[in-house]
Amino acid sequence: DLLEAFNDLARPDVNELLREIYIQPDGITLFTHWVPLNVDGVRQGIVAVFHDISDLKKAENMRRDFVANVSHELRTPVTIIKGYAETLLDGALESDPVRALRFVEIISSHSERLTNLINDILTLSSLETKEAILELNPIDVSGTIAKACMLLQERAVQKHISIFNESTGGALPRVMADQGRLEQVVVNLLENAIKYTPDGGRVRLFTEDDGECVRVSVADSGIGIPFKDLPRIFERFYRVDEARTREQGGTGLGLAIVKHIVQLHGGNVSVTSEPGQGSVFSFTLKKA
């Protein structure tokens, strides 16, 4: 690319050159601006300005991928809803009431999936645009953990999963956090722990004093996550087993939301897992 720019600039009719150059293997994108330096009509040299726009390019690509992924995710439920509604209208509604009921149930479950997906996308976008309005207050995390356990108790009971809340209540220092957002983090992690743990399993929630931070962990005895997938697990729409997790009604955005909220608070997220044994998801929050 650089050679090409030099050659183009050698042409007498070229007075200025703007060019994007991609450098492999470093994955650097440069925006370059070239101007020949002429003295008395004789070319003496070239002035070139290079701007490193790699980060900008990366952000642009991520946005493009996200839009493509969202469209892809929306298409499946919409196609299913449309297909079954048409079958009903074409006569199944009257000719086969038993199947008709099944079709309506399918339409309903996929509408719910659409709603969840749109809610998660809106949450992510509000986290990105309204960073400034985290309502930070000194909070007792064990209260938030207790609330999340209560909210998801019913779902755990349905799967015969026992939830053990082992967070050390009063002894733990308060953290600076946005109550609503923190609740969402714990709920998302607990929801996953229940979702990816087979019937009869166990989920533990515990807290630790970690110097400047408090660490909150959600541990399950579930299906676990293969080592190779761990680095990507917090990416938007990344799922370990596409077919299985989609069937569970997941949007693939839960952990991306968790990571985003924790990082907005200045904390970090981590995960350890053993396939077949279970997973431990942890996050830290700064003490108040």
Q: Are 271 and 230 in contact (CB under 8 A)?
A: yes
Q: Residue 112 CB, nearest distance to ligand ADP (Å)? A: 13
Q: Closest Cα to residue 48, out of 83, 74, 9?
A: 9
Q: Is 221 in the site for ligand ADP (CB under 6 A)?
A: no
- The rounded distance, in Å, linking the Cα atoms of 214 and 173 is 8
Which of residues 54 and 116 has its CB atom nearest to ligand ADP in the complex? Answer: 116
Q: Are 213 and 234 in contact (CB under 8 A)?
A: no
- The rounded distance, in Å, linking the Cα atoms of 103 and 112 is 14
Residues in Cβ contact with 80 at an 8 Å cutoff, skipping those fewer than 6 apart: 106, 107, 110
The stretch near ligand ADP (CB under 6 A) out of 10-18, 104-112, 132-140, 190-198 is 190-198
Element (H, E) at 147: helix 141-158
Q: Is 222 in the site for ligand ADP (CB under 6 A)?
A: yes
The stretch near ligand ADP (CB under 6 A) out of 2-10, 21-29, 64-72, 189-197 is 189-197
Bridge partners of 284, per DSSP, are 215
Among 254, 265, 282, 284, binds ligand ADP (CB under 6 A): 254
Interior angle at CA 54, CA 51 and CA 57, nearest 5: 115
Q: Residue 242 CB, nearest distance to ligand ADP (Å)? A: 8
Q: Is 192 in the site for ligand ADP (CB under 6 A)?
A: yes
User: Crossing angle for the helix pair 97-129 and 254-264, nearest 10 degrees?
Assistant: 20
Which of residues 246 and 286 has its CB atom nearest to ligand ADP in the complex? Answer: 246
Instruction: Encode 193-208: b = buried (16+ Cβ within 10 Å), e = exposed.
Output: bbbbbeeebbbbbbbe
Q: Is 145 in the site for ligand ADP (CB under 6 A)?
A: no
- Binding string to ligand ADP for residues 262 to 281, with x set by CB under 6 A, is what? -----------------x--
Q: Is 207 in the site for ligand ADP (CB under 6 A)?
A: no
Q: Residue 128 CB, nearest distance to ligand ADP (Å)? A: 16
Among 34, 84, 196, 283, binds ligand ADP (CB under 6 A): 196
Q: Is 77 in the site for ligand ADP (CB under 6 A)?
A: no
The stretch near ligand ADP (CB under 6 A) out of 32-40, 62-70, 93-101, 222-230 is 222-230
What is the CB-side half-sphere exposure of residue 82 using CA atoms within 13 A? Answer: 6
Q: How many residues bind ligand ADP (CB under 6 A)?
A: 22
Q: What residue ranges bind ligand ADP (CB under 6 A)?
A: 192-193, 196, 220, 222-225, 233, 238-241, 245, 250-256, 279
